[in-house]
Amino acid sequence: MAEKMVKLGDIATFVTSKNAGPFRLTLDVVFSSGETYRRVKASQAITRRAMAHLYGIGEEDVLEIIHFDAAWAIKVTLERPIGSGAVGETDVYGAQQHVPLMEYLLPWDEE
């Protein structure tokens, strides 16, 4: 039987992004249940390699992946390819950078 895939944005309560200073972005994924959060965490699908691939950056530019068990949340901090407000930069506040993570496909068999 083929493994079902699901978009992270379809199982999370919300996925957001914002600046973490002018040279970094932070991505937040929050879940409405501990069970869903623990399944995503246990899948080890949110890795430096995966985030680098999603955002077209080097693994060294994925600065942190933090799991907040008490809040059922995951935070990813990335080095911005272009500083906020610099020439060629298109999202000064970093508020539209969550879409690749929201669309990220995870293996998700119904239990």
Q: How many domains does the chain have?
A: 1
Is residue 2 scored above 60 in pLDDT?
A: no
pLDDT value for 90: 83
- Mean pLDDT value of segment 53-71: 97
Q: Residue 30 above 60 pLDDT?
A: yes
State CA 29 to chain mean position distance: 6
Q: Which domain holds residue 19?
A: 5-107
Give the pair of three-digit tokens for residue 102. Answer: 């929201």
Instruction: Specify the higher pLDDT residue, 64 or 92.
Output: 64
On average, the pLDDT of the chain sits at: 93
What is residue 65's predicted lDDT score, i.e. its pLDDT?
Answer: 98
Write down the pTM of the prediction.
Answer: 0.90
> What CATH number did the domain enclosing 70 receive?
3.30.70
